[in-house]
Amino acid sequence: MSIHRIKHSAQKISPPKLRDTDFPARIRRYLKFAAANSPTMVSNLQQAYWSRTSYVPAGTFSQPSIKERRKFTDIMDEEINDEKRGKPGRKPKRLAHEIGTPLYLHGQLKTLKKETGISKPVPIDESDFVMPFFREKLQDISFQDDGRAVFTCYAIGLPAPSYTWFRNDLIIIETNRTKVKRLDDGRCQLILDPAKEYDCGVYRCVARNTLGSVVCRARLSLGDVPSNVAAPFVQDYSSHDVLLQWSTPKHLIDAHVQAYRLESKKFSANEWSIVDDNIHQEFYLVTGLEPNESYQFRLSARNKFGYSDPSPPSEAITTLSIDANKTIRLPLAMQFVCNETEIMPPIDYNQEVQPIQLIKSEFKELYDFKSIIATGKFSVITKAYIKDGSRKTLACKCVLVQSEIESSINHEYEIHKSLAHERIARLMYANRDGNLFSLAIELCSGLNVLTYICRRQSYNEQHVATILCQVLDAIQYLHFRGIGLLELQPDNVLIADEQNLQIKLTDFANARYISNQNAGHNTMANPEYIAPELIRNENITLPYTDVWTVAVLAYILLSGHSPFKGNDGQETAQNVVFVRYIFERLYPRVTQEAIRFLLSVFKLTPHKRPTIEECYECKWLLRNEFMMKKREAAIFDTNQMKIFTEKFINDKSITHKHSRLLDLIGLNE
């Protein structure tokens, strides 16, 4: 081989020349030297990299950095393109932080014991094990200084879970004043006796067994009597009656109002007389007044700590003359009042293994129907008494036998008969005879979330967040039982306690047992309230499919509009499938945290939506004082919600289809 060829071969196999890695360092040294000796260079560097107004000492130099800036719209376009190509995309980062001792450390400890011979390996069949679940979660507590505060929760699982308590993310250690107590029924209590002001904060309880852990949270705060209530104002009046309305006190000192006391007096008199001291709503119809007489009214609010000071007196109102032929008609939202307060027995969790049996007898032997609560497309919900001597008042859902949805209500019975949870309306009786299929459910307060809001003067984001967290609790229980809710209409969220704002879910006609999440389900649900994968008959993926329905409810409560409703069913379905909705309909005072929550959930790809636990952890729903004050400051008027509620009820009330059903139960007017 010639020397010329060897030379060329050596050139081919010689290592590539590396770039000068010292060049940036030499540039920085040069710039430092130039900045220390040249005022012109300092000025140029200041204009290029430093603030024009900041003073930069001679000889100092900040290394300029180049960062890529990407538009938010570009990132959204990439996600949309991925979805069009059918790519699921990268899953969002789930909660990475561990609570207490990570579970993998328990596994490592078990392995170390086996290796060192401390414990012999025992084969364990984990097929029958059950991951922990909170049947009863912690509730917010308020106390007065040196009072006693007790948190109680109840978790189940196999093996039985252990409990760990935290305050503001710090583990709680038992002392003479702070004790953790396990009750015989499986519940766990954290007792602070006495509780001090510095104990206030967010408390968490973690229940854990070998399969995993679950968390529940609550807030401890210092309480006092309510602040003064604003003066009531007159909505309407006649010769003998006056309809009053008022707003909830702005500062409840973390203790809900239990009742109001209303007082009245003639304008010329000095002494006040009590009209009623056990009012549970923010309105009252005063009757039995004298014609052509001027009256004034005032209020006091009561919580567990006592009564507030009386409000300022209302403006004097003069009743009409006795000749005036006027009758006060209550607005629609005020007509949903349940005067009877039924004391329901404690939840019987044995109902999960011993469900409510279907009674096959004449419905007239079991129920005494009194009035209509609501009407659906194919059903009527009535208030009924039970003919068993107890005279319990229940809400009875009635459907004609051999109608087009008989199979649907039978399916609803199969789902509902074994549900036992504090956020699920309890099924008390089920009956089927030759004409009628009926489900008797606890009546609660007679209100749903729409009528609850409409009978108020205003509401705020704190009300919305409280409702949504409890809805998530109910859906979490359904998922624990292997059930997907799939559809959530706003009138299916019942108000169990109007003053303390406790809700319960009802109507499981479109719920399904999800044994195989890779299979779609045909549903008769309204496309307005279901996830896009159901419309396209694609895979049902829990919990993401049900989280979508929660966001739809959130949008309605934050705007008074349905997010995807179109001119007809087909347009509505297209809006859902293409995730077309208008953010400008949200109230102007809606917080940015609430908007981010909606943005995070309204995703076409299910796995890009948050889980239920991530919803609890999102900033908008946090229980810390900063977010609570921010949510309470976002106050909304109820006028738009009243318009939405009236249209919602009218769309569902097709009374001409129920003539035979109403005749059968004796309520056809």
**What's the CA gap between 142 and 220, in Å, rounded?**
6
Give, for 497, the enclosing helix (H) or strand (E).
strand 493-497
For tokens 């909660």, the residue is 95
- Is the Cα torsion angle 529, 535, 540, 545 positive or negative in sign? negative
Q: How confident is the model over 372-402, as pLDDT tens digits?
A: 887 777 788 888 888 876 778 888 888 887 7
pLDDT value at position 520? Answer: 57
d(CA 639, CA 341): 29
Q: Is residue 632 domain-shared with residue 487, that is, in the same domain?
A: yes
Neighbouring C-alpha atoms within 13 Å toward the C-beta of 511: 28
Same domain, 460 and 437: no
Domain annotation covers residue 471: yes
Based on the fold, state whether residues 601 and 520 are members of the same structural domain: yes
Instruction: Tell whether 472 and 585 lie within a shared domain.
Output: yes
Same domain, 256 and 376: no
Q: In Å, what is the CA distance from 76 to each residue of 381, 583, 618?
A: 45, 16, 21
User: Which helix or strand (DSSP H or E) is residue 472 part of?
Assistant: helix 461-480
- 67 and 128 in a common domain: no
Residue ranges in the chain modelled with pLDDT below 50 = 1-17, 51-56, 58-70, 88-104, 119, 253, 338-341, 518, 655-656
pTM, full prediction:
0.76
Domain that holds residue 247: 233-326
427 domain residue, yes or no: yes
Neighbours of 402 (CB within 10 A): 8
Would 400 be classed as within a structural domain?
Answer: yes
Strand duo 162-167 + 201-209: pairing: antiparallel
Q: Report which of 259, 251, 248, 341 is spatially closest to residue 303, judged by C-alpha positions.
A: 259
Q: What pLDDT is stored for residue 3 in this prediction? A: 41
End residue of a domain, out of 443, 468, 493: 443
- Structural domain includes residue 303: yes
Please tell me whether residues 282 and 409 are part of one structural domain.
no
| Residue (of 200, 212, 102) closest to 151 by Cα position | 200
Helices 625-633 and 461-480, axial angle in degrees (round to 10): 120
> Residue 340's pLDDT is what?
44
Name the domain count of the chain: 5
Looking at the structure, tell me whether residues 306 and 375 fall in a common domain.
Answer: no
Nearest in space to 443 (alpha carbons), one of 382, 509, 487, 500? 382
Residues 185 and 136 in one domain: yes
Taking the C-alpha atoms of residue 266 and residue 313, their distance in angstroms, rounded to an integer, is 11
Q: Which residue has the tokens 């009046």?
A: 237
Q: Contact 199/145 with Cβ under 8 angstroms?
A: no
In this structure, the answer to whether residues 563 and 546 fall within a common structural domain is yes
CATH number at residue 193: 2.60.40.10
- Nearest Cα residue to 238 out of 318, 330, 326, 314: 326
CATH number of the domain encompassing residue 387 = 3.30.200.20
Specify if 45 maps to a domain.
Answer: yes
Residue 535 included in any domain: yes
- Determine the Cα–Cα distance for residues 138 and 162; give it in Å rounded to an integer: 16
How far is Cα 581 from Cα 575, in angstroms, rounded to an integer? 7
pLDDT at residue 21, rounded to an integer: 59
Q: If you count them, how many residues does the chain have?
A: 669
Residue 334 lies inside a defined structural domain of this protein = no
The last residue of a domain, from among 398, 414, 443: 443
Backbone phi, then psi, for 268, in 5-degree steps?
A: -85, -10
Cis omega before residue 161 (within 30°)?
A: no
Q: Identify whether residues 172 and 321 lie together within a single domain.
A: no
Residues 592 and 546 in one domain: yes
- Residue 306 included in any domain: yes
